[in-house]
Amino acid sequence: MPRRTAQKGAPPVARELDINFGERWHSKSPARELDLIDTISKTKLDIQRLTTFLKQSEDALFSERSRRAPISRIPDDILTMIFEVKVDELRPSQTATRRLEQHSPPRQLVCSQVSRRWRQVAFRTSSLWSCFVIHNTRSLEFALSILSKLTCRFGLALGLKCSVTKTAGPLLQRIASTVSRYRNRMVRLRFEMCDHAILNFALILKLPMPSLTELECNRSHYCNFYDRAAPRWQGQGLQHATGLLQINFLVCNLPTDFPLMPSISRISFQDVTCASAKHLCFFLTRVPNLQQLRFERISASYGNTFQSDVDYSRVDPPTLAKLHLLKLSGDPALFLTSFSHVTFPRLQHLVLSQIPVPGPDMTSFLEKQNAVHSLALLLPWRHTYDRPWSHKSMCGVLDHLALPSPHGGPKCSALSEITIVDTWIDNRATKHPTLNSELSSSVVSFVENRQRLQSPISRIIVCPPLDDHVHDSLKDKVTLICRADLRPA
């Protein structure tokens, strides 16, 4: 009897038809058997062709139905806004050894894999790819695998702990090579490295970054080889970044010899240490076209931490002629030391957040700002013992602005809008909180006194809302906007 051989895993019909009798037996087959063999072969080809056609028809049907889906009728710009609602940092997923934690891929990658159109929209939206986090070789390879497919602009976040270690040295060379290769499309750069790593990266990167628009320095990792006498990063590499518009300094020391950067229009300081108030003045002279300035907890260190050849004692406070937005958060004593008597001619928006009770420097500064037409008093969430102190500070600002100036006119004569936001809400006291009673009384007195000085306020934005009797007393004098969900920017 001839033996039948069948492939493992083949379906039953295939096993029955896949019959091999051998070459000698096959050569002796009569015409009837040869016809059957040809028929079987042609039938297999027909089945394969029909299966392919069925798959193509199903795909075409899915595409036709997808065009009628509501999400398919959304324009690309609206679809881009949906993608931008939640943007994750771009980093590789966790290794298989960490099975106890569930880590989903970045949302950008998920959106780009839904359909061809979504992939095209995602890959040309630069805001989705603004934060490739690179801290080791694996994360660098992950970034390179995506950058090779992108045609839009992107951003990098470098998180090396120290550039003098053996593992980070060669990696820093590769990162610098990557930045050089894609420098015409890199618009955002964030440093989360020690002073050694930032300086060495700037020295290694010898090519300009013409497309860079935003830079952030966050010294979140401290160097194990920290040396006070070692050279620090002073802005090296930024001289040719002619398109740089914004710099954010977080948890770091302020550069002592920063280069002149006329292109910068926005600067933010948060938990920054400088040598003195004069040092801060010198830094601001290096950005003459500044338009937005934000301070949050900036202090001075009078030790030998800072070394510079610049004589700060001869530096005068700059007037910043183009500044139109200023935010002071926390204790602004260092800023007011030099700027209490400076008038910013184009300052229109002033934001005061969690400031102390206004002293002579603050009151003098407020009297000089006659171009301000919008003032925001913000009270972020703090512990219970901070709340009365902060309310007293806000009341102090309103009470001071309600008084006439030494010349008899109003202080901040252009002021027309006040925003008061108290985000410290004790839900245990009431389910429908209202503005603090002491602060509400200051608001009423402020509005009435400004009317007497013939400099009325046109609009007041309050969160949480005012009490009903306070609201009724003001609704005919000023436009009131009461919000229960407003949060400070």
**Total residues found in the chain within this entry:** 489
- Give 375's DSSP letter: E
pLDDT in the model for residue 461: 92
* Residue 386 domain-assigned (yes or no): yes
Residues 6+ apart with CB under 8 A from 252: 217, 218, 219, 272, 273
pLDDT in the model for residue 309: 67
When divided into structural domains, the chain yields a total of 2
User: What are the CA-CA distances from residue 82 to residues 33, 71, 89 (Å)?
Assistant: 65, 11, 17
Beta strand spans in 194-276 (E): 214-218, 246-253, 266-274
pLDDT in the model for residue 376: 94
CA proximity to 121, closest of 108, 106, 133: 108
Residues 6+ apart with CB under 8 A from 168: 160, 161, 162, 197
Cα angle, residue 387 at apex, residues 384 and 392 outer, rounded to 5°: 155
Enclosing domain of residue 7 = 1-40
* Residue 303 domain-assigned (yes or no): no
* Residue 70 domain-assigned (yes or no): no
pLDDT in the model for residue 14: 42
Burial class (CB in 10 A: 0-12, 13-18, 19+), 310: middle
Contact 162, 168 (CB under 8 A): yes
* Residue 391 domain-assigned (yes or no): yes
pLDDT in the model for residue 16: 45
For the chain, the C-alpha Rg in angstroms (whole number) is 33
* Residue 10 domain-assigned (yes or no): yes
Q: Model-level pTM greater than 0.95? A: no
* Residue 388 domain-assigned (yes or no): yes
* Residue 15 domain-assigned (yes or no): yes
- Is 419 strand, coil or helix? strand
Ordered per-residue pLDDT tens for the chain, 489 residues: 444 444 455 444 444 445 555 666 666 678 888 788 889 889 999 999 999 999 999 988 887 887 777 877 888 999 999 998 888 888 887 554 444 445 678 888 888 888 888 999 999 999 999 999 998 889 999 999 999 888 899 999 988 776 555 555 788 888 888 888 998 999 999 998 877 778 888 888 877 888 999 999 987 655 666 666 677 788 888 888 889 999 999 988 888 889 999 999 999 999 998 888 999 999 999 999 999 999 998 988 765 566 676 778 888 999 899 999 999 998 899 999 999 999 999 999 999 998 888 889 999 999 999 999 999 998 875 544 455 567 888 899 999 999 998 888 889 989 999 999 887 655 445 555 777 788 889 999 999 999 888 888 999 999 888 888 888 889 888 999 988 765 555
* Residue 357 domain-assigned (yes or no): yes
